[in-house]
């Protein structure tokens, strides 16, 4: 069995149409809810992305509000890895191993690492549109998917 860990750049594409959205929707439509993983921080990060795009005039307020309601519903259906001390420690260790890794990315990848430890025998595919983060995830032993490619 495989699960998908959606890092924020990928998760956001489920709510705001961008390159890669259609591919992600196809994958998520064919995946059980318990096979969809996110960091507990991802919904807040996506909320901020949607509001930022609304304020910039990229999306109208009505569309932003609809996206936020769908975000609330979809995030509640997904398995969320809490930002607990184990995740923060994994993120710290990642920063030591991968010096170019940014804090937010380290927390996302740390959450995926902890989820992988907890879900023995299940392949977790790390999904992102950030090429450097995908390279780092591969170095950490994850199969990766970039929905934009």
3-class secondary structure, 148: coil
pLDDT in tens, 57-106: 999 999 999 999 999 999 999 999 999 999 999 999 999 999 999 999 99
Domains and CATH numbers, the chain: 2-145 (3.40.50.1010)
State the average pLDDT for the chain: 96
Is residue 21 scored above 90 in pLDDT? yes
b/e sequence 67-103, b meaning 16+ C-beta within 10 Å: bbeebeebbeebebbebeebbeebbeebbeebeebee
């Amino acid at each position: 069995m495989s699960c998908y860990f959606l890092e924020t750049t990928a998760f956001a594409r489920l709510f705001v149409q961008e390159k890669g959205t259609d591919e992600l929707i196809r994958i998520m439509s064919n995946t059980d809810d318990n096979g969809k993983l996110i960091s507990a921080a991802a919904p807040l990060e996506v909320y901020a992305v949607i509001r930022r795009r609304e304020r910039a005039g990229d999306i109208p307020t009505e569309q932003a509000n609809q996206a936020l309601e769908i975000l609330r519903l979809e995030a509640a259906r997904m398995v969320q890895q809490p930002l607990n001390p184990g995740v923060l420690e994994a993120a710290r260790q990642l920063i030591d191993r991968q010096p170019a890794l940014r804090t937010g990315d380290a927390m996302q990848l740390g959450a995926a690492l902890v989820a992988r430890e907890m879900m023995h025998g299940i392949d977790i595919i790390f999904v992102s549109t950030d090429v450097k983060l995908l390279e780092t995830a591969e170095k950490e032993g994850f199969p990766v998917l970039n929905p934009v490619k």
